[in-house]
Structure 1
Amino acid sequence: MLTFYYNAAPNPLKVALLLEELGLPYDIVPVDGRKGEQFDPAFLAVNPNGKLPAIVDGDTTVFDSNAILLYLAEKTGKFLPPAGDAARGQLLSWLMFVASGIGPYSGQAVHFRHFTPEPIPYAINRYTHEVMRHWGIVEARLAAQPYMLGDTYTIVDMAAWGWARMLPFVIGPDVFATLPNVKRLLDEITARPAAIRAEAIKSRFTFKTEMDEEARRFMFPQNANLPA
């Protein structure tokens, strides 16, 4: 059975959504970043980068949420265009757009807006601007069609959903005033039975919620004068 290394952050949630959409059986191994469990040798053997999520599927190990989405979609032949279809190039392009743009810039915006020891206006402005630029591109795409690849719900929409849920925290409570079609897609996916089940996974585990000194040492070791 597939093993899914999980926490409640946006990237693992994307994978949980696809697993639930596919109906694949899986075991969950929770990994609590605020307790430093991502540095356990057993997990580092699965993902040397020490980040969530990761999966082990028989002899195959996959880490990075977008790589996992692509792997599972290709394995099952679901939620992606068929091989050789012209839309496959669009799927790969938009999936990498989420992987290299939306995810990293959103994560950095969260860090500099909420967790940096001292506010750095330049960094806040830089990452806020880039987050909104990326989501503006998605908004324009969704203004012309129901889903990122047209009329069909795919793993690209799932990849975007993971971070779209977090936009009020990433940017602010009024963010969807300028992203109505992103909000439309977010609401549609969130209402899907698979998404409801994916969201409910976190209630099965107890993750540390306090950002205390211990959590900061594990999450941001550079700020505690520890090796990165």
Structure 2
Amino acid sequence: MKSKFLSIVLLCFLFLSCQGQQAKEVQTLDAKSFSEKLNSTPNAQIVDVRTPEEYEGEHLDNAVNMDWFGDDFAKKVTALDKSKPIFVYCKVGGRSAKASNKLAALGFKEIYNLDGGIMRWNATGYGKPSSKVVGMCDEEFDVLIKSDKKVLVDFYAEWCAPCKKMAPYLIKMQNDMKGKMPIVRLDADKNKTLVTELKLDSLPVVILYENGKEVWRNTGFISEEDLKKHL
């Protein structure tokens, strides 16, 4: 009986492990390799799997929007040619990885997923330069961080799962540390100019400033306990 139970547990573990693996039809490429492959592919099929609102804000040339979270994602991809390469991207790479595996399951044979998404694409210099200021400008940000106190800046996004996980304790810290240390939370989607200037290529990002200078930065989820160790 015990042996049978252990066998079932092992099979479940193997199944879950396989579920998280990248399909053999999918190649995850860095921005440079993605760009080179894209430019060498005539009439490339490019799919932006973010929300329509994100797509309207910025997108790669000739990309079509097929929201991974939309109920009609599987239906929309039937308009694509399974015999030709397909290029997939999102904001930071999470949704596009899942979408790429889904496309492989639907029969697509050659799929290229942009590692780090459009954030890393922009941070490495492949995005379109823009003179339009979106959100806080450099001058405003400089005033914000030039304080006689330490300043913690949190860049987040509403769609970002680890950002949501960190939000409750960061909001609590904002209140608890009022007057002692400013904690500023900035929506990356609404402050694209700063995101570009600071070369942020993933989310969440927390940056600690002292006397206007960056002294520490963390990209990705960090627990409240670990964050407080750096303050």
Q: TM-score, normalised by structure 1?
A: 0.27
Higher relative contact order, structure no. (Cα contacts within 8 Å, ≥ 6 residues apart): 1
Larger Rg: 2
Report the structure, 1 or 2, having the larger helix content. Answer: 1
TM-score computed with the length of structure 2 as normaliser: 0.26
